[in-house]
Chain A
Amino acid sequence: MSGSRTRTLLALGGGGFSSQPGDPALDDLVLDLTEQPEPRVLFLPTASGDAGHQVASFHSAFGGRPVRREVLSLFRLRDLRVPLRELVLSQDAIYVGGGSLRNLLALWREHDLHELLREAWESGVVLAGLSAGAMCWFEGGVTMSGGRAEAVPGIGMIPGSLSVHRDSEPERLPFYLDQVAVGALPGGWAVDDGAALLVRDLTVARVVASRPGAGAERVGRDGTRVTSAKEQVELLAGVTHAPSDPAVDELRALRELRRGLSAPR
């Protein structure tokens, strides 16, 4: 992969393959962004504690597509066949699942994975993620893992902050706006499930959605006043990668579950 490629990140407000009903158009976009006929896609389920059901839905969603799939479990690093660095840097796309933002960042820092991911992004690997897996790249986000909303600093690779699940978890938005108002979080975006920010280099280049009505707003601060502006949303149309057959997917997920998920010691 050449170093001159645009750095690319797709931040989903929610939805995607690990949710119901799923957003195949967003999953397809991740694949299209790689510009590879058969991209290598690595899934990181860290934020969920490597939950088996999340890993299974990854295999199920991407199993029907021309993709070389791999899963990185920080709880089962012993099973790695190649060194961590090599695994991360040899991907075309890296997809980060949702869960606890606080845990995600803590575990990445323990393993220095955030530095490796930054390197991958700089070398042109497409990064994608939803919920905690989307907020982590920004300067800060809103976590609900402790039961109530809290502002948490992220890796800070992308300037600004991000709040997710604007539509499905309505208690996040007012908290987010407050945090921006008092300066606890920098300005940024609040994004719905099924909508995503496409960040090229350090700029949000497009806001896309796989569900009609899903969108995002830009949140800023003017003195002590919060400003908010609706983003122009582009509804994703044609599915370019072959859609998957749910029955086949289910069988495949079952098989993966039986095969892949060994018990931790």
Chain B
Amino acid sequence: MEAGNPLLDAYVLGLVGKERPRVCFIPTASGDADHYIVRFYRAFSAASCEPSHVSLFRRDRGAGQVEGDLEAHLLSQDLIYVGGGSVISLLGAWRAHGIDEILRRAWMSGVILCGLSAGSLCWFAEAVTAFHGRPQRVDGLGLLPWSNCVHYDGEPERRVEYRRFVGDGMRGGYAADDCAALHFAGQELKAVVSSRRDRRAYRVEVHEDEVVETPLEARYLGLDEPVLAAA
């Protein structure tokens, strides 16, 4: 849902491998902000998929808003896309509605889960959030048994704090730059891809009492610029 850059959206739709996949957006972390929901329907239009969204705050019956059996709806999706915002609020609201357990079941049954920022942090056992100011540690759903840090290039304080947290006993894990994505199959890292050049991810872990950061090159999803043939 990057403005003007559909590469990551196209990549994740490609993972489904199906014509018109069912895609559900969960904007909880933003407080179900209207403008965000509109952006989702713009990026995932009915031309390419069957879009819907789940709002935990609004009962108004906006187009596409799911009513009735939330669990059946989520379990019938091909792809669930979780938006960014506050991961603490996200996890609290999900737990209150049992969405955390439903998403775990969806993942186990093969539904592809994806998300950015808070929508990435939430799947890991531990994460660093800086949404509320100073970076702080937070427990996620633990589908992936590592820690996670996002906006690694965009917000330098996160990088410093993430490394400090891992040094102080947070489990090792993965960090990602803006526009870079970690693709896991099961709990295994399968690929690192990006929608812009020169973005990467990092493995961050403790090795012999030292925090080691190993860059993971990302595969740029765009077309390579044409190489000018030498005359």
The answer to whether B31 touches A147 (Cβ under 8 A) is no
Nearest residue (CB) in A for B118 is: A265
How far does the alpha carbon of A50 sit from the alpha carbon of B117 in the complex, in Å? 20
> B92 touching A49 by the CB < 8 A rule?
no
Q: Across the two chains, which residue of chain B brings its CB closest to A108? A: B92
Residues of B within 8 A of A264 (CB): 29-31, 33, 36, 84-86
Q: B residues within 8 A CB of A50? A: 31
On A, residues with C-beta under 8 Å from B are 47-52, 73-75, 77-78, 80, 99-100, 102-103, 105-107, 109-111, 144-147, 263-265
Residues on B with C-beta less than 8 A from A106 are 92-93, 95-96
B96 contacts A265, C-beta separation under 8 Å: no
Chain B proximity of A32: nearest CB distance (Å): 31
Residues of chain B lying within 8 A (CB to CB) of residue A111: 88
| A51 vs B133: C-alpha distance when bound (angstroms) | 21
Can you identify 13 A-B contacts, CB atoms within 8 angstroms?
Answer: A49-B30, A51-B58, A78-B132, A78-B133, A103-B96, A106-B93, A107-B93, A109-B92, A111-B88, A263-B35, A264-B29, A264-B31, A265-B85
B89 touches A102 (CB 8 A): no
Binding site secondary structure of chain A: loop
A105 — which chain B residues lie within 8 A by C-beta?
96
Do A49 and B57 contact each other (CB < 8 Å), given the known contacts A102-B97, A106-B93, A110-B92? yes
Shortest A247–chain B CB gap in Å is 26
Question: How many whole Å from A117's CB to the nearest CB in chain B?
Answer: 16
Does A102 lie within 8 Å of B30, measured CB to CB?
no
A74 pairs with B89, CB closer than 8 A: yes
Give complex CA distance A73, B88 in Å: 13
Q: Which of B40-86 contact A (CB under 8 A)?
A: 56-59, 67-68, 84-86
Number of interface residues of B (CB under 8 A): 29
Q: B32 at the A/B interface (Cβ < 8 Å)?
A: yes
Q: Which residues of B contact A144 (CB under 8 A)?
A: 59
Q: Residues of B at under 8 Å CB distance from A? A: 29-36, 56-59, 67-68, 84-86, 88-89, 91-93, 95-97, 117, 131-133
**Could you tell me the distance between the alpha carbons of A215 and B88 in the complex, rounded to whole angstroms?**
39
Indicate which residue in A51, A77, A103 contacts B56 across the interface (CB closer than 8 Å). A103
Neighbouring B residues of A102 by C-beta, 8 Å: 96-97
Give the Cβ gap from A168 to chain B, nearest Cβ, in Å.
14
Contacts of B132 in A (CB 8 A): 77-78
Write the chain B residue with the least CB distance to A80.
Answer: B133
Please, how many angstroms separate the alpha-carbon atoms of A73 and B68 in the complex? 29
| Inter-subunit contact A75/B30 (CB<8 Å) | yes
Instruction: Write the chain B residue with the least CB distance to A148.
Output: B68
CB of A83, distance to nearest CB on chain B (Å): 10
Assess the A78–B95 pair: CB atoms within 8 A: no
Given A75-B89, A264-B33, output 10 extra A-B contacts at Cβ < 8 Å.
A51-B57, A75-B86, A77-B86, A103-B57, A103-B96, A110-B92, A144-B59, A145-B56, A265-B84, A265-B85
A107-B92 in contact (CB<8A): yes
A78 surroundings in chain B (CB, below 8 A): 131-133
**Most A CB within 10 A of own CB, among B95, B97, B117:** B97
Complex Cα distance A111/B138, Å?
12
Residues of B within 8 A of A145 (CB): 56, 59
**Nearest CB on A from B122, distance (A):** 13
Nearest neighbor of B87 in chain A, beta-carbon distance: A110
Q: Which residues of A are found within 8 Å of B97, using beta-carbon distances? A: 102, 146
| Contact in complex: B59, A74 (CB < 8 Å) | no
Chain A nearest CB, measured from B169 CB (Å): 23
CA distance A80 to B133 in the complex (A): 9
**B89 A107 Cβ-Cβ under 8 A:** yes
**In the complex, how many angstroms separate the beta carbon of B178 from the nearest chain A beta carbon?**
11
Most B CB contacts (10 A, CB to CB) among A50, A80, A103 go to: A103
Q: Is B57 a contact partner of A263 (Cβ separation < 8 A)? A: no
Contacts A75-B30, A77-B131 given; indicate if A110 touches B68 (C-beta within 8 A).
Answer: no
Which residue of chain B has the shortest Cβ distance to A110 in the bound complex?
Answer: B92
B91 partner residues in chain A, CB cutoff 8 A: 110
Task: Report yes or no: B35 in contact with A100, Cβ–Cβ below 8 A.
Answer: no
Given A77-B86, A102-B97, does the pair A265, B117 have CB atoms closer than 8 Å?
yes
User: Do the beta carbons of B88 and A51 come within 8 Å of each other?
Assistant: no
Query: When A and B form their complex, which 6 residue pairs have the shortest distance between CB atoms, in order from nearest?
Result: A49-B31, A49-B57, A106-B96, A110-B92, A77-B132, A106-B92
